[in-house]
């Protein structure tokens, strides 16, 4: 693990990238400063303002940690899944159409969506939509979203282990 702060130029570039995304308005400051970067082998975390952002395979998304990302997660389109699907998705399974009870907000193929459980509406995963919302609504079966981050994965566990470092920045 490598931990450092971004340069002013890199901070501006990252903020610009985030603002171009559907949930980018969660980033409050025009020119955020002191952005903490935590690099791991397959992903990079950024603590920017109050947000905790992950970059993985060229995707930028908020982590499922509500204490940092509640606003950003609420701005994302969502798939509400039944409680039977929750344990599978929480272990990294992709989202299958029969398990989805409801769609919240419009999304297109290739867009990041948050997966929430139907009982508590808690985020359990971040996924990449494999179809647009119109096609997802008419499908009866099949995979409709690819799981990219979920509770108890490497990203989740790293954040749990280094909260003292994240909260201090």
Task: Say if residues 77 and 71 touch (Cβ distance below 8 Å).
Answer: no
Task: Say if residues 44 and 32 touch (Cβ distance below 8 Å).
Answer: no
User: Which pLDDT does position 50 carry in this prediction?
Assistant: 86
Contacts of 127 (CB under 8 A, 6+ apart): 79, 94, 95, 112, 113, 114, 115, 145, 146, 147, 148
Task: Say if residues 81 and 100 touch (Cβ distance below 8 Å).
Answer: yes
Residue-range domain boundaries for the chain: 2-65+153-168, 73-150
Instruction: Classify domain 73-150 by CATH number.
Output: 2.30.130.10
> Does the pLDDT value for residue 30 go beyond 80?
no
Q: What is the mean pLDDT of residues 61-81?
A: 96
User: Which pLDDT does position 28 carry in this prediction?
Assistant: 83
User: Which pLDDT does position 33 carry in this prediction?
Assistant: 83
> Does the pLDDT value for residue 55 go beyond 90?
yes
3-state secondary structure of 103: strand
Q: Is the pTM of this model over 0.85?
A: yes
Q: What is the mean pLDDT of residues 35-49?
A: 95
Say how many Å lie between the first and final Cα of the chain, rounded: 16
Task: Say if residues 115 and 79 touch (Cβ distance below 8 Å).
Answer: yes
Does 73-150 match 2-65+153-168 at the fold level? Answer: no
pLDDT tens digit sequence for 125-167:
999 999 999 999 999 999 999 999 999 999 999 999 999 888 8
User: Which pLDDT does position 168 carry in this prediction?
Assistant: 79
Q: What is the mean pLDDT of residues 89-94?
A: 97
Would you identify the CATH topology of the domain 2-65+153-168?
A: Nuclear Transport Factor 2; Chain: A, (3.10.450)
> Does the pLDDT value for residue 169 go beyond 70?
no
């Amino acid at each position: 693990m490598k931990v450092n702060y971004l340069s002013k130029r890199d901070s501006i570039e990252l903020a610009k990238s985030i603002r171009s995304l559907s949930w980018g308005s969660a980033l409050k400051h025009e020119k955020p400063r002191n952005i903490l970067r935590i690099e791991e082998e397959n992903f990079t975390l950024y603590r920017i303002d109050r947000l905790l952002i992950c970059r993985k395979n060229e995707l930028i998304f908020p982590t499922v940690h509500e204490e940092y990302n509640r606003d950003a997660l609420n701005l994302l389109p969502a798939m509400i899944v039944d409680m039977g699907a929750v344990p599978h998705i929480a272990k990294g399974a992709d989202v299958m159409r029969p398990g989805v009870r409801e769609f919240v907000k419009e999304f297109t193929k290739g867009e990041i969506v948050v997966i929430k459980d139907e009982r508590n509406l808690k985020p359990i995963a971040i996924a990449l939509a494999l179809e647009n919302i119109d096609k997802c609504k008419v499908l009866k079966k099949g995979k409709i979203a690819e799981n990219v981050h979920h509770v108890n994965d490497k990203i989740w566990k790293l954040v749990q282990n280094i909260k003292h470092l994240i909260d201090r920045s």
